[in-house]
A and B are shown apart, each in its own frame.
Chain A
Amino acid sequence: MMNINSYSVGAFAIICVICATLVKGFKSEIHIAVKIAACVLISSAAVLMLSPLLDYINTLAEKTLVADLFSLLLKALGITLLCKICGDICRDCGENAIASGVETVGKIELLILCIPLLEKILTSAYEIFELS
């Protein structure tokens, strides 16, 4: 696996932009594919770069007894990232309505993900009022 750093990602992005502009002159449908490929590859690199950091934070969270809450947080971060990437690709292709749809689905999924947390808070509040 090649070493991922800001220099290589920057160079890759500039080459992709040049390629997309080059293809746009010949065939305007296929330059969208170049843009999507570049976006997908760079996002994959970013997520792969993030994984050791997340592993380290995971080990820290396990020591502080909030591992289940942290995994929920991580899941929410993943959903947000996925919807953002897909929405940005759609917006880049000039389809704002599809992008908004994808982002709305992401927001609803986040809300559904938060329901157990809300339930936990309500249960604690109920217990406190019961005791007093």
Chain B
Amino acid sequence: MTTGNGVAVRAERVSRHYEMGAALIRAVDDVTLEIRAGEFVALLGSSGSGKSTLLNLMAGLDRPTGGAIFANGRNLSELSSFELARYRSRTVGMVFQSFNLLPRMTLEENVELPLRLAEVDRGERAPRVQEALERVRLEKRLSHRPSELSGGEQQRAALARALVNRPTLLFADEPTGNLDSATGESIMLLLKEIQQKLGMTIVMVTHERPLAERFANRIAALADGKLLTDGVKS
């Protein structure tokens, strides 16, 4: 689903400022960015550049203090808390650096969780969990708990959980940050494969320029909360 003219998400002069005592932290400051449907965009920047904050704003996890973010043809900052939760549930899939799987649940239960939250019928859940786990090649690890999996497997499981609700937007926050380079590469290949096969829009936050250059279609570089460059790779 797009906001029109093939645009999946559009940030329009978006700001996210925090007050810390007397100081005003400009985590994201007046950023305008348009992400087209089916693109693989990398938000590149060093620590504290505002890339994760911008990702959270586009994923509907946070609200901007200024500007607007349009997705699904609606301004996210105008949505109610409940509507924003529905947007996260039905339109967005999220992958985190630290995987964020629930340790006491099995892989199957972890992947099923978004389906429960989206109130998908019980009968429909098992095939969709199976499908998502097959896509990340973890279908044989259904009953394992996260602690019984390697880092790469945990991130693949997190990816399956992000895909199970068939979102149109996938936001990945440093998905390889906790993995060795080989495992990280396998995850990136998987993301690329998913983008190409499903035509999914992927926005990935990373501080590794080589990774961004190798896998993303487009790189938006941020520093000190501002967008420095935004360009399609040559």
* A-B interaction: no
Mark B residues whose CB is within 8 Å of A. Answer: none
